[in-house]
Chains A and B, each alone.
Chain A
Amino acid sequence: GENVEQHPSTLSVQEGDSAVIKCTYSDSASNYFPWYKQELGKRPQLIIDIRSNVGEKKDQRIAVTLNKTAKHFSLHITETQPEDSAVYFCAPRATGSDYKLSFGAGTTVTVRA
């Protein structure tokens, strides 16, 4: 199965600064790379995803970059705001995995006012 590692496990940033979370995966057949956000006590929700034929994707203050050669992808949040405080999960999926996402352990982001 896919081995997924997220770093760092916790991240504290000053409001307005940037945050970067890295996800490393093991299966070179992975072709779909989503990031989910989970606020305290809430359900996970997709915030951005990228497919293997694209190197970078942006949506307002968030972006995802993909390095398939090195088998990692990263979530970038710029101009952080208090509402960005949450746990973020990467969940790469490999072709032939029959729809199964492999979730990382999560990164807890705290934005300090």
Chain B
Amino acid sequence: NAGVTQTPKFQVLKTGQSMTLQCAQDMNHNSMYWYRQDPGMGLRLIYYSASEGTTDKGEVPNGYNVSRLNKREFSLRLESAAPSQTSVYFCASSFDGDNEQFFGPGTRLTVL
């Protein structure tokens, strides 16, 4: 099993460009999450999907949109990238909200 996979691993964007970060899990998990990690600030939840067909905002949703494409895949879209969105983005999944979250390898995004 690959666990949680993310693409791309690295990305450089110019201000105003758009892009989609992809996340997939092969553990038959119901819940999926997107976090961003900035130095000294831990991980902050952007959006989450408690189950297929549902999505909800987390702590820092502004400037992002998500799509739970199916049970396996959960994508994060930046419509108009800003330098403040420079960060490392982690996708995670869990069987349900009461269980361990498994993280993907992360995407390092730089917005110039």
Q: Name A's B-contacting residues (CB within 8 A).
A: 1, 4, 32, 34, 42-46, 49, 89, 91, 98-101, 103-106
Cβ of B40 within 8 Å of any chain A Cβ, yes or no, is yes
In the complex, the answer to whether B97 meets A98 with C-beta atoms within 8 Å is yes
If A44-B43, A44-B90, A49-B100 touch, whether A99 touches B106 (CB-CB below 8 Å) is no
Min distance, Cβ A100 to any Cβ of chain B, angstroms: 6
Q: What would be 18 A-B contacts, judged by CB atoms less than 8 Å apart?
A: A4-B42, A34-B100, A43-B103, A44-B90, A44-B103, A46-B100, A46-B101, A89-B43, A98-B97, A99-B50, A99-B94, A99-B96, A100-B58, A101-B101, A103-B42, A103-B43, A105-B41, A106-B40
Min distance, Cβ B68 to any Cβ of chain A, angstroms: 14
Within 8 A of A (CB), among B13-50: 31, 35, 40-45, 48, 50
A-B contacts at CB below 8 angstroms, number: 46
If A43-B104, A46-B101 touch, whether A101 touches B45 (CB-CB below 8 Å) is yes
Cβ of B8 within 8 Å of any chain A Cβ, yes or no, is no
Q: Which residues of A contact B44 (CB under 8 A)?
A: 103
Complex: A98 Cα to B42 Cα, angstroms:
20
Which of A46, A99, A105 sits near B97, CB closer than 8 Å?
Answer: A99
If A43-B106, A99-B48, A100-B48 touch, whether A105 touches B40 (CB-CB below 8 Å) is yes
Cβ of B83 within 8 Å of any chain A Cβ, yes or no, is no
Complex: A40 Cα to B104 Cα, angstroms:
15
